[in-house]
Structure 1
Amino acid sequence: MPKPRKQLVSLEATPYYHCVSRCVRRAFLCGTDPEGRSFEHRRGWIEKLILDQSQIFCIDIAAYAVMSNHFHVILHVSQQRARSLTSLEVVQRWHQLYQGTLLSKKFERGEDLSASQQAILDERIDEWRERLMSISWFMRRLNETVARLANEEDQCTGHFWEGRFKSQALLDEKALAACMAYVDLNPVRAAMAKTPEESEHTSVKKRAQKAKETYSPNHPKQQAYGLLPFAGNPRQDMPEGIQMRLTDYLELVDWTGRQIRENKRGSISEAEPAIMDRLGIDAEHWLYITQNFESEFKGIVGAAHEVKSKLSQFWDDQRERRRAAGIAACKLRLS
């Protein structure tokens, strides 16, 4: 039985989550269906919505890939950013997503509110602030918008997506890197592209294009707009971002993609990226998990000791913690 969303998300444990939404009724999100009808333009819907919403929500995009009947997105929740927003900024952001209330519209226009009205609005603002850093609300609006557009185009009604999006918590750097490579290589594995940088509507293509255009690709301010930047190797006073260099990650994805396409499991290239050694990743395990991330791992992903230490932040029930699904895979593949 699916677990409640509150048991799959704990911002105290990790800010990183891998989310997947799949179509129902054999609907096509993008691509071409067996009857020859093309839905390729819908890729642009998804990509634009993902990137646009990240500018409104206090949620960054680490990776994404839009496939024919599903899409992947890795989200990074910034609690600090959400907590630092003023009341007016919260209202302005929320009004970009939904209509708001009469009181919030008056407040945005700078009109005076009575003490009781302000108290009511303050409660609503606190609620909206929480929603602006909620992956459930992020995915809800994204999926609702796409479903509405697709149903209008298909001239039909009913569910477009499965009942729930799938969510996986990524507890450590190794789990994050593996999941990002898994997402970015989806089109290559599906024979939709020959190389990662040719994979349409993916974060890796967006990152690679920007890297080619700049003289300092590893500088966070010179990386692709709208995506969580790579902040470099861990150090003091580190800026917000993914703790590795962009060039290391692109090299890692390219190396991994070449091994998958040429069916060379366990064969380590002489030019193996330095990040493999830095993360302590075994090549054979790495290739396996970057091909089987969804099927191999369940709701919480990371080194086994990380999973065990943070289970109480996800589940209150002692029995649930003792038999956490997927911990054996984490111990085998990520420890």
Structure 2
Amino acid sequence: MPRPPRAEQFSPDEVCIVHVTQRCVRRAFLAGVDFVTGKDFSYRREWIRRRLESLASVFSVDVLTYSIMSSHVHVILRNRPDVLAQWSDTEVALRWLKVFPGHRLEEHLAEPTENDVQSLVRDKQRLKTIRQRLADISWFMRALSEPIARRANKVDECTGHFWEGRFKAQRIVDETGLLACSMYVDLNPVRAAMADSPDHSPHTSAYDRIEAGKGRQIDSAAFDLKPIPSEQVAKNTRETPVEALRKKQRAKRKNPTGRKVRRDGWLAPLPLDPSTLASEPQVHTDGFRSSDRGFLSVSLNEYLRLLRWTAKHANDTAKLPAGVAQTLAALGIESSMWRDLVWHWENYFGQSTCVGRSESMQADAVRTGHHWHRGQSNASACFV
């Protein structure tokens, strides 16, 4: 059965939550130790995490959950056209030029100038297209995958494909499916025996949230959302050699804003705020992410408690603690099936393009003009 068209799964014009997976070609090692060659590519995990962090600061796309494995990447994304609608034309142009500079008026600079931004703002037709792309998950993944592929090929001194093809996408259609999928993504290193618990699983969203709770901060990889003033360009080109200017710009890339951020400050907050209306965009104003909206109706402590219990009791028959069972019941999840659902996710949703309760999947199938989604019958066994 062929994959459905992207436009059928998600649209930049409506809020959608999508689980995406990007895998290396020929099962090559993205990060970690290649057992054939003995080379250690672990440092590439930080490349990807920082690229995710920088893109979260310019796209109107929230990063909800992620994990970076040896040969693939899992990310749960939520596009936010409602946030995008709050941005001015100048802001849209600047954000786009930070990621896709194209042909700059001042080619020797690594940053867009005021002239570049205003030139794009005047092109109304192109700006309209760009505005839509900033809320498009496909363009977000393109901006993530292409630079990583080029950088890895340069290090490996080779050419050709680095990723095996277009990313795999699963639309998540309800909160029940979102909780299960988030747990599956966060527990990937534990499932692969790369770590014994979420607390020891770097380069996952769970680890970032745990470390942030301890007060950990990191150098921000967010783009500096300020253009270079035109008068400064003229001054620099007269007084500073071009190579010295480029060296200064390369140094800035390590921490574009010069600020520190909580370890999870670039991720979408986990708990939904019950005091806010669903229609409120909750635009983030500090420049680290697109919005401050959460995505689950459980607290971070409840989430981590369930995550740790699931990681610890993968293969035994331990009874769910009362608090954990209550959390699952409130979301309509069959507690006796929870462990099997998370640890054997591929058996339930591995071939599905949609994730959620059976009735939610059925409603989404009708939306797209189909009779059913693959995996729908399996979902009915896990969700009450």
Tell me which amino acid in the other structure corresponds to 1:5.
Answer: R
Question: After superposition, what is the alpha-carbon deviation per residue over 1:52-111, rounded to whole angstroms, capped at 9, x for unaligned?
Answer: 1111111111111011000101111111111111100010000011114669x9994389
Tell me which amino acid in the other structure corresponds to 1:286.
Answer: W
Q: Which runs of 5+ in 1 are unaligned?
A: 215-220
Partner of 1:226: 266
Give the alignment of 1:184-199 within 5 angstroms: 184-199=186-201
Secondary structure of 1:249's counterpart equals: helix
* Aligned residues: CA RMSD: 2.8
Give yes or no for contact 1:65–1:202 (8 Å, CA) kept in 2. yes
Between the aligned residues of both structures, percent identity stands at 35
Secondary structure of 1:194's counterpart equals: coil
1:242 aligns with 2:295: yes
1:326 aligns with 2:380: no
Secondary structure of 1:64's counterpart equals: strand
Partner of 2:146: 144
- 1:325 to partner: Cα distance: 1.7
Tell me which amino acid in the other structure corresponds to 1:206.
Answer: D
Secondary structure of 2:319's counterpart equals: coil
Q: Structure 2 vs 1, CA of residues 137 and 235 (structure 1 numbering), >3 Å: closer, same or farther?
A: same
Tell me which amino acid in the other structure corresponds to 1:225.
Answer: G
- 1:223 to partner: Cα distance: 8.3
Tell me which amino acid in the other structure corresponds to 2:303.
Answer: Y
Count of residue pairs the alignment pairs up: 318
Secondary structure of 1:281's counterpart equals: coil
1:23 aligns with 2:75: no
Taking structure 2 as the reference length, the TM-score comes to 0.76
Question: After superposition, what is the alpha-carbon deviation per residue over 1:214-263, rounded to whole angstroms, capped at 9, x for unaligned?
Answer: 9xxxxxx9882001102347455466212321111111111111121xx1
Structure 1 stretches of 4+ moved >6 Å: 110-113
Partner of 1:254: 308
Give yes or no for contact 1:233–1:245 (8 Å, CA) kept in 2. no
Once residues 147 and 76 of structure 2 are traced to their aligned partners in structure 1, the CA distance between those partners, rounded to angstroms, is: 19
Q: Structure 2 vs 1, CA of residues 282 and 312 (structure 1 numbering), >3 Å: closer, same or farther?
A: closer
Give yes or no for contact 1:251–1:273 (8 Å, CA) kept in 2. no
Match of 2:359 among 305, 311, 324: 305
Question: After superposition, what is the alpha-carbon deviation per residue over 1:272-298, rounded to whole angstroms, capped at 9, x for unaligned?
Answer: 364223212222321122123244221
Give yes or no for contact 2:60–2:135 (8 Å, CA) kept in 1. yes
Partner of 1:158: 160
Q: Which runs of 5+ in 2 are unaligned?
A: 106-110, 217-260, 283-292
Give yes or no for contact 2:24–2:30 (8 Å, CA) kept in 1. yes
Match of 1:75 among 74, 77, 89: 77
Partner of 2:53: 51
1:5 aligns with 2:11: no
